[in-house]
A = this chain, B = another copy of it.
Amino acid sequence: MNTQDLYEEYKERMHRIADVKYSMALLQWDQETYLPPKGAGIRGQQIATLSEIAHRLFIDEKLGKILNELMDKNELGENEKRNIELTLEDYTKNKKYSSAFVRKLTEQVNRSFHAWMEARKQNSFPIFEKELAPLTELKKQETDILGYSHHPYNALLNEFEKGSTVQLIDKTFADLLPSLKTILEKIKNKPQVNDSFLKQYFPKQQQWDWGMYLLKQLHFDFEAGRQDISEHPFTINFANSDVRITTRINENDFSSMTWSCIHEAGHALYEQGLPADQYGLPLGEAASLGVHESQSRLWENNIGRSLLFWKHYFPELQKKFPEQLAKLSVEEFYKGINKVEPSLIRTEADELTYHFHVLVRYELEKKLIDGSILTKDIPAFWNEHYETYLGVKIPDDKNGCLQDVHWSHGSFGYFSTYSLGSFFAAQFYSAIEQSVTDLNNGIEKGNTVPVLQWLRKSVHLHGRKYTSGELCERMTGKALDTRFFLDYLLQKYSLIYTL
């Protein structure tokens, strides 16, 4: 077969695998949005079957043969070559898993997810723990299947952020957190800002309309996506022409929905901007979770919590909620939405204390995976570390170790990418500030198109072509450096709290 035909055969196989994977993703989306409760059991089985089929299709020896043959061809273009390299990497990794293990893991994830839902309902960790314990055992087995050096947790970290290690993340946190602690202490000694206006009654339908308006303003393409309601906001895609986000509405807390919309919009703009002709291929996928999170954070925080942005949108917001907000100035609003205060819930944390929430989970997972603690020890570990790092007392499991869905999905090694996302976002945004002329002027007028264009060109269109590290170098001229994030916070809080 000539190279072009062989590459077509490769693409054809990858398309079929993607079809199955994205079908599975739709089943998952439905599970968290519309699934009736009695459908949960069979749904888990259906997802497990698709997952097993996708895995079987991917580890087909014939695909391996095609990939190895294509690796030796010189006629391939740069992007084709990169697709083959990355697919071969994935193939080699996937070959390590037996289909039986994949099925077992998927089924256990499903049981754990439903146990987590039930545990939250009853506000009782032990209900979740019964299913989390065997899931954690499977994840430990997975580290052996994948292989690792130094620390078993590295195997899992690497799944979400290629090249990420315990050593690197330990160092990143160690570099940054003392400075964050210092800022936090300084803030504590200053007059606190008022955010009580956020806790007024904001009716559900009006919040929904406002969120939809914002999504349109940010150029989320509703012809190629939609928004629905779920317990925990998320973004999922079934092709770059079908990218779905979810949100939740708290009628007594305005911030919950607004910044979840902007956050998920950031994820979704990335997915909608991936190259359509690379469907099912590595260059049609996001670079890494850290890069994914950099997109959501950049929109949510660097733009969506800036004074410039709200200079344009706050008058719009006041029109929608005159009773609640007419008397407020944009400066007061800006300060309120950037209030720093140690709290219980990660997704509602401010930009500073957020990273202590991540640290607790990171430390906990490390120990869980290397066996120094067991799943039953989680609440004690959690509660103790929240007190140490944030000085808060955990009142119950729902506001403590049951708050996040991730473990129920078996996603150990995920949380650190949230912090990486913030750090990348600060560094990327600094590059945008330098290269886009008239940027601030535009944002102040509600025009974020130049930012989107810059991200499309520099990040979205490349798919997985570059690692997060390579992307960072290409865009900013240097490796990831938490100094950008620190500078960003210092500048923001110096003004707000007159540090």
A interface, CB within 8 angstroms of B: 15-16, 19-20, 22-24, 26-27, 30, 34-39, 41-43, 45-46, 48-50, 53, 221-226, 228, 238-239, 241-242, 279
Contacts and interface: CB of A to CB of B under 8 A. Distances in A.
A366 to B, nearest CB: 36
Contacts of A242: 35-36, 38-39, 42-43
A264 to B, nearest CB: 15
A46 B18 CA distance: 8
Given A36-B224, A38-B224, A222-B36, A46 B30 contact: no
A263 B38 CA distance: 23
Contacts of A225: 36
Contacts of A46: 19, 22-23, 238
Given A30-B30, A36-B226, A39-B241, 16 more contacts: A15-B49, A19-B46, A19-B48, A20-B49, A23-B27, A26-B26, A26-B27, A36-B225, A38-B223, A39-B239, A41-B241, A42-B241, A42-B242, A43-B242, A46-B238, A53-B53
A38 B221 contact: yes
A219 to B, nearest CB: 14
Contacts of A16: 49
A241 B221 CA distance: 34
A272 to B, nearest CB: 9
Contacts of A221: 38
A35 B26 CA distance: 11
Contacts of A19: 45-46, 48-50
Within the oligomer, what is the number of copies of this chain? Answer: 2
A45 B223 contact: no
A269 to B, nearest CB: 15
A39 B222 CA distance: 11
25 contacts: A15-B45, A15-B49, A16-B49, A19-B45, A19-B48, A19-B50, A20-B50, A22-B42, A30-B30, A34-B226, A36-B223, A36-B226, A36-B241, A37-B223, A38-B223, A38-B224, A38-B241, A38-B242, A39-B224, A41-B241, A42-B238, A42-B241, A42-B242, A43-B238, A46-B238
Nearest to A53: B53
Contacts of A38: 221, 223-224, 241-242
A194 B49 CA distance: 55
A241 B42 CA distance: 8
A379 B19 CA distance: 37
Contacts of A41: 241
